[in-house]
Amino acid sequence: MHRIFTTRFAAVYPHYVTKVQKKGRTVEELHEVIRWLTGYSEEALAAILTSDIHFMDFFAGATLNPNADKVTGVVCGVRVEAVEDPLMQKIRMLDKLVDELAKGRPMSKVLRG
């Protein structure tokens, strides 16, 4: 089992915030991306950020967006759609969406609209 699976989501979240804010994007946009992928409400996301929920449980409780399979491409040198482990693939999807947001891609394209 990869150690990211048992890493608290709240421990990684500040890195997502830093990444998008450095590039002029907002926390609200980051939340929109997370909510789009996972189906969590803003209230549920706020509760997760103050809890000890790790990535395994974070994605176990999520309802993946029906268009999540459109999240493709390379992140951290790994092709998202080629990742075999379902949980790792979901984590890579989130990483890819955060990367696209930070790179200034229009929100409609990030959310596969």
What's the pTM? 0.95
% pLDDT > 90, the chain:
96
Task: Answer whether 47's CB lies under 8 Å from 8's CB.
Answer: no
Distance CA 65, CA 104 (A): 22
**Interval 10-28: pLDDT, tens:** 999 999 999 999 999 999 9
Sequence-ordered list of residues with C-beta below 8 angstroms from that of 13, at least 6 positions apart, any chain: 49
Q: Which residue has the tokens 């029906």?
A: 66
Per-residue pLDDT band at 108 (split at 50, 70, 90): very high
CATH topology for 3-104 is: Helicase, Ruva Protein; domain 3 (1.10.8)
Distance CA 27, CA 31 (A): 6
